[in-house]
Amino acid sequence: MSLKSVRWSRSFVLLVLGLSVSALLAQDKANDAVTPVPRDGGWMKRHESFNERVKTGNVDLLLIGDSITQGWEGSGKAAWQKHYTPRNAVNLGIGGDRTQHVLWRLDNGNVEGISPKAAVLMIGTNNSGTNSSVQIAEGVEAIVKKLRTKLPKTKILVLAIFPRGADVNHPQRKVNVGANLSIRKLADGEMVHYLDIGDKFLNADGTLSKEVMPDLLHLNEKSYTTWAEAIEPKVKELMGE
């Protein structure tokens, strides 16, 4: 074997060893999606406004999530007024939130002193850029467990993370699809239920149109109506209507 071949073989072995070590380190790294952490600035003000709202009581339904849930106050306002205002619903959505932020909020007042009939949870897409599908699912599971502990009489509807990106090849959509495969296993058919309405937003070939989500992530007014109508039968069931 030539000296050049020896050097190449040694470099290849070192590369393989390096990749193996990196994989092991990644596997052993703590999953930040399950570690409660707060944010600052306007986020904290909105969080505190939630705490003030729940202190007044009269909360029968919660919608928990990130900017997609917060959007019920914007593009989804009309659908909210029709479907959720009469149900004494509270919007616990904050733009940019990841699973770890929701966990912190639940530990710090967002559900204190209330016992809603039902809660709708949809979270995880903001984790998809840095966390794996498994890690996101673990984050959602941690939220569900916390809700079950803090709100033992509340029935939970866990929604599959909505599709994002133009088509099935979008990297973060792939991560979310993988997470949903695990998230659906959280349902027990009694207190925790699962629903995937993603196909309501997609074309037959799996593509996502800007006429449905203008930035291929956030919903427009029509899409919020689609969302509300898609979960309406299950919401009625869980609220005992």
What is the C-alpha to C-alpha distance for residues 143 and 102, in angstroms, rounded to an integer?
Answer: 7
> Is 218 known to be catalytic?
yes
Q: Which of 67, 132, 182, 196 is catalytic?
A: 67
Paired with 118 in beta bridges are 61, 155
The DSSP 8-state label assigned to residue 34 in this structure reads G
Which entry of 83, 101, 193, 218 is annotated as an active-site residue? 218
Per-residue burial over 199-238, b if 16 or more Cβ lie within 10 Å, else e, is eebbeeeeebeeebbeebbbbbeebbbbbbebbeebbeeb
Answer whether 133's CB lies under 8 Å from 179's CB: yes
- Is 67 a known active-site residue? yes
**Per the structure block, which two tokens stand in for 91?**
């919007």
Active site residue 196: no
Catalytic residue selected from 28, 40, 205, 215? 215
Task: Find out whether 41 and 95 touch, Cβ atoms under 8 Å.
Answer: no
Catalytically annotated residues: 67, 215, 218
